[in-house]
Amino acid sequence: MSSKPLRILILGGRGGLGKALTRRLEGIGEVTSWSRADLDLSQLDLIAPKLEAQPFDVLLNPAGMTSPDVCEAQPELACLVNVDAPERLAACCQRLGRRFIHFSTDYVFDGSKTSTWSEDDSTDPVNHYGKTKREGELVVLAAFPQALVARVSWLFGPDKPSHPDQIIAKAMEGNALTAIADKTSAPTFTHDLSDWITKLIVDHPEVCGPLHLCNEGTASWQEWGLEALKIAEGMGLPLQTNSIRPLKLAESTFFKAARPPHTTMSTSRLTQLTGIQPRAWQEALRDYLHGKTALAFSLPRS
């Protein structure tokens, strides 16, 4: 007799990661994907009644305020969505006996370390976004110690344009390209991330606490962009330029919130606990770009 299908509830279902998770997890269970219209995390009193009325075995929360600049401009809303709401989600899952996977960020670190960051390293966020995400981690694990807090970084994938897409589109338009060269982290393919989450759900229900999930290696925004252009050139895309002028983080004027300079995370704990060995971000980027068409790289028209 076959076992009962796993019931998976995903919040933030219209976001890039939410869509990738939904697509992948539909292969292992019954997936329900909620957008903000289904559950607005700023409406705290609605969280428990909504969850109690929805049958699920695993709750994934990639929803939240993820723009550092928007969080800086709307600090109270950021606290509601990134701290208070996750705490209520965790408490509800604990009470119902359901698994909870909450997504966090490399921005919980201050960026002062040039080597990779481990889960045991101290956190000291430099902006309000990072502070709310770190506080969110703490309240989630206080409310539900068996929760999994998945820290991710620099996501790219087919469901939401990201840095490599924008660089290639601008290169095809002939625009001059610039990118910050002294800020580094690990670009992460949402397809790979969804595979790791699937394995954690199916094969490793015991894994809890903070866990780093990112592709292997490190890059600056300039290096990430240059690799994208190299791959695009090899694909025969009609690039008008293949160079990117480097910028310094300290010289940038388009950020409202401070950015941590070096936040590449180590995935050694992931490998130790699960045997998963993330592939290099360059290989993941190549697979992602080769899965697109030339038209898909065009800049959107107003």
CATH number of the domain within which 214 lies: 3.40.50.720
- Residue 41 DSSP label: T
- The verdict on residue 225 lying in a domain is no
178-180 vs 245-247, strand pairing mode = parallel
Report if residue 246 sits inside a domain: no
Q: Tell me the pLDDT tens digit for each residue of 37-52.
A: 999 999 999 999 999 9
- Kindly state whether residue 77 falls inside one of the protein's structural domains: yes
Identify whether the C-beta of residue 28 lies closer than 8 Å to the C-beta of residue 6: yes
Please check whether residue 229 lies inside any domain of the structure.
no
- Average pLDDT of every residue of the chain: 95
Q: Which domain holds residue 18?
A: 6-161+186-218+258-280
Q: How many C-beta neighbours within 10 Å does residue 77 have? A: 15
Report which DSSP code applies to 262.
B
pLDDT tens, residue by residue, 228-238: 999 999 999 99
Q: How confident is the model at residue 247 (pLDDT cuts 50, 70, 90)?
A: very high
pLDDT band at 1 (very low <50, low <70, confident <90, very high): very low
Task: Give the other-Cβ count within 10 Å of 206's Cβ.
Answer: 9
Q: pLDDT tens-digit profile of 145-163?
A: 999 999 999 999 999 999 9
- For residue 175, being part of any structural domain is answered with no
Summarize pLDDT for 100-144 with one digit per residue, the tens: 999 999 999 999 998 999 999 999 999 999 999 999 999 999 999
Within a domain: 143: yes
Residue 88 lies in a domain: yes
* Domains identified in the chain, total number: 1
CA 194, 224, 266, 90 torsion: positive or negative? negative
Does 302 have pLDDT greater than 70?
A: no
285: tokens are: 């980027």
* pLDDT above 90 for 300: no
